[in-house]
Amino acid sequence: MTRVWLIEISVFLFLLHCTVVIFAEANFGKYEGYKLHPYERHYNASVPDYIPRTTPNPIDEPEPVAEPHHKPGKHDKYAQKPYEKPAYCDSRTPPICAKDAPFGYCSIDEEYPFELLNKLLGESIFLARQYSDLKDQSAQDLVNEVSKKQEESFDYSFYTGAFTFDTTHWIGPEGYICPSDVAYERPLRAVNANGEWRVIVNDPSHCTQTQRVEICRNPEGACRLLAPCYKSRCIQKFASHRILSFDPCHPEKGLFIDSFRLPSACSCHIPSLH
């Protein structure tokens, strides 16, 4: 009796196994990547040892890249084409902005390389912060006994600089003896002491370098309140400034400090009378 039950159980297991194999063959795609046991291999010669995977494995699929929340538009300040150094680049050749820059610096530059500057700042951000200046500068900070309001109120509309005895020398409101235009500039390009043009690091969102410049209104003109017999003249003075900059022809050099000559004052000069 026991032997009969064993035979029946064996037959039942064999039929169950055959049913599973047939089902697997009918649903081949569902069992991709399934490797047969040697026992199954003996009864299923037509089925390969390994059923290769044809559908991608979710584990192997790359993670989707999220789209940026902000896509730069044509009016975006930094949405400019990548900086491309010209095939021929000579640092001694004045940039386009230099045509309106008689004193060797540009305060307006339509070709300012913001994208390249951002890259260089990322490599030298600590250096840039060391040379970043005060956000607001005026006579209040840089001129003794003259306030910001006073300097901005100076009116030289009456002054001609003529070497004659006329009212332009003897009248007029408060001001300097040599009338000048004062500005607090953030130059974008300038020519250095060696005659080479550099890009000045000046980006309000990262680093600014403000320079006080003073330019004679009437260079070589007569000084105010002095008689013509003194033969006085207003002369332009310059000062050397150490400013953080980079070479647009060799951006691989990174940021560095260079020397620039900027107009600093308009002074009255009285020559020797002998």
Note the pLDDT of residue 155: 86
What's the mean pLDDT when you consider all of the chain?
Answer: 77
Please state, in angstroms and rounded to a whole number, the distance separating the CA atoms of residues 89 and 33: 60
Mean of pLDDT values over 237-254? 94
User: Looking at the predicted structure, is the pLDDT value of residue 49 above 90?
Assistant: no
Note the pLDDT of residue 72: 44
Outline where DSSP puts E strands in the chain: 105-106, 180-185, 189-191, 197-200, 211-216, 233-246, 256-269
* From 39-53, 121-135, 191-205, the region with the lowest mean pLDDT: 39-53
Residues 93-113 pLDDT 10s: 999 999 988 999 999 999 999
Note the pLDDT of residue 181: 93
Domain count, the chain: 2
116 shares a domain with 220: yes
Is 73 domain-assigned? no
Mean of pLDDT values over 7-27? 65
Is 75 domain-assigned? no
Note the pLDDT of residue 11: 65
245 shares a domain with 135: yes
222 shares a domain with 143: yes
Is 70 domain-assigned? no
20 shares a domain with 128: no
User: Looking at the predicted structure, is the pLDDT value of residue 89 above 60?
Assistant: yes
Please state, in angstroms and rounded to a whole number, the distance separating the CA atoms of residues 16 and 21: 9
245 shares a domain with 149: yes
Q: 8 is in which domain, residue-wise?
A: 1-65
174 shares a domain with 103: yes
Residue ending a domain, choose from 43, 65, 87 = 65
Mean of pLDDT values over 225-242? 91
Residue 205 banded pLDDT, cuts 50, 70, 90: confident
Is 71 domain-assigned? no
9 shares a domain with 133: no
CB atoms within 10 A of CB 239: 14
101 shares a domain with 60: no
35 shares a domain with 110: no
Counting DSSP H helices and E strands in the chain, the numbers are 7, 7
105 shares a domain with 222: yes
Is 2 domain-assigned? yes
User: Looking at the predicted structure, is the pLDDT value of residue 115 above 60?
Assistant: yes
260 shares a domain with 139: yes
Please state, in angstroms and rounded to a whole number, the distance separating the CA atoms of residues 258 and 191: 10
Residue 87 banded pLDDT, cuts 50, 70, 90: low
Backbone angles phi, psi at 157, to 5 degrees: -65, -20
Residues 21-33 pLDDT 10s: 566 555 544 444 4
102 shares a domain with 60: no
Note the pLDDT of residue 156: 86
Is 176 domain-assigned? yes
Residue 76 banded pLDDT, cuts 50, 70, 90: very low
For residues 84 and 164, is the Cβ–Cβ distance under 8 A? no
Is 242 domain-assigned? yes
Note the pLDDT of residue 21: 58
Mean of pLDDT values over 172-179? 86
Report the CATH number that the domain containing residue 143 is assigned in CATH. 2.10.90.10
